[in-house]
């Protein structure tokens, strides 16, 4: 998957989200501090910890365990806000959390790799640049979209439609990429490994159904942004690792989208539209 296509996907996704947001939406989020606090704890403590425990209980090999832990410890995937939009979740929550998760991954990935018994090379300047680029690709389009909605609402509506269509097409390309690169190679990863990945992804999606906090739209946003991990960062850290680690991460990406996209569409059918 080319870097340019991923960058366009990120920008188009966040522009589509930004054209639906107002500053008041973020001010309302500040009145609900439990939502971001619990979401951050889930992403940097609960999900990685669950991955370590499940991999240990399943008796997975070292490389497969390493790949799963890297994915589980890397929050802030670029399409989390887009899936929040499709799931009719709280877009202010989704956009804010996605921006918070990305830099946290620089800390949580090496920390959880160490907890799992590995000694990965630190992300270093390259990892920082990767995260910084991702953040700019999130913040700038959201800001532009919000400005358009406030100053040029008719233009904002047209931009929303086009950017959302572009993002949806590129998301489909990403899913097909994971299907082509790892769909036929799941037996190489092992069905037990695939099962562990599926359980981790389902745990990420569980906030949408578990009434930990209200409103439901916030839960859907937490679920979608938690389900989509920052696999670019995980693959960057795994660059010097063996092929099994990389294949495990690709399998994670396949199962991540295979489970989260249908859940997002199902939630959209059962949720009221978000204004």
Q: What is the mean pLDDT of the chain?
A: 86
Render the chain in DSSP notation, one character per residue: --HHHHHHHHHHHHHHHHTT--HHHHHHHHT-THHHHHHHHIIIIIHHHHHHHHHHHHT--HHHHHHHHHHHT----TTHHHHHHHTT--HHHHHHHHHHHHHHHHHHHHHHHHHTT--PPP-HHHHHHHHHHHHHHHHHHHHHHHHHHHH-HHHHHHHHHHHHHHHHHHHHHHHHHHHHHHGGGHHHH-HHHHHHHHHHHHHHHGGGTS-SSS-HHHHHHHHHHHHS--HHHHHHHGGGS-HHHHHHHHHHHHHHHHHHHHHHHHHHHHSPPP-
- From residue 152, give the alpha-carbon distance in Å to each of 17, 147, 149, 228: 16, 8, 6, 32
pLDDT digits (tens, 9 = 90+) for 5-45: 888 888 899 889 889 888 887 777 777 788 888 999 999 99
Whole-number pLDDT of residue 274: 44
pLDDT band at 275; cut points 50, 70, 90: very low
Using the predicted structure, report yes or no on whether residue 102 has a pLDDT greater than 90.
no
Quote the pTM value.
Answer: 0.86
pLDDT digits (tens, 9 = 90+) for 228-238: 999 888 888 77
Using the predicted structure, report yes or no on whether residue 51 has a pLDDT greater than 90.
yes
pLDDT band at 124; cut points 50, 70, 90: low
Q: Which architecture, in CATH terms, is 3-270?
A: Up-down Bundle (1.20)
């Amino acid at each position: 998957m080319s870097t340019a296509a991923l960058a366009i996907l990120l920008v188009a996704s966040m522009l589509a989200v930004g054209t639906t947001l107002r500053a008041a939406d973020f001010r309302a989020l500040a009145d609900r501090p439990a939502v971001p606090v619990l979401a951050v704890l889930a992403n940097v403590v609960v999900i990685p910890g669950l991955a370590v425990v499940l991999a240990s209980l399943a008796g997975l090999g070292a490389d497969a365990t390493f790949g799963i832990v890297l994915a589980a410890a890397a929050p802030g995937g670029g399409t989390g806000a887009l899936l929040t939009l499709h799931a009719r979740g709280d877009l202010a929550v989704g956009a804010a959390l996605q921006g918070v998760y990305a830099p946290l991954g620089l800390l949580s990935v090496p920390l959880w790799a160490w907890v799992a018994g590995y000694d990965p090379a630190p992300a270093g300047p390259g990892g920082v640049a990767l995260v910084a680029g991702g953040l700019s690709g999130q913040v700038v389009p959201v800001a532009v979209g919000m400005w358009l909605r406030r100053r040029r609402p008719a233009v904002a509506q047209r931009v929303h439609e086009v950017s959302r269509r572009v993002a949806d097409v590129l998301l489909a390309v990403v899913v097909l990429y994971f299907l082509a690169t790892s769909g036929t190679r799941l037996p190489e990863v092992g069905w037990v490994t695939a099962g562990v990945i599926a359980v981790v992804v389902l745990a990420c999606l569980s906030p949408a159904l578990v009434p930990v906090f209200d409103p439901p739209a916030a839960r859907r946003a937490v679920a979608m942004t938690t389900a989509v991990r920052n696999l670019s960062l995980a693959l960057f850290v795994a660059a010097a690792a063996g092929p099994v680690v990389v294949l495990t991460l690709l399998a994670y990406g396949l199962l991540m989208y295979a489970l989260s996209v249908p859940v997002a569409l199902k939630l959209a059918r059962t949720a009221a539209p978000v204004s």
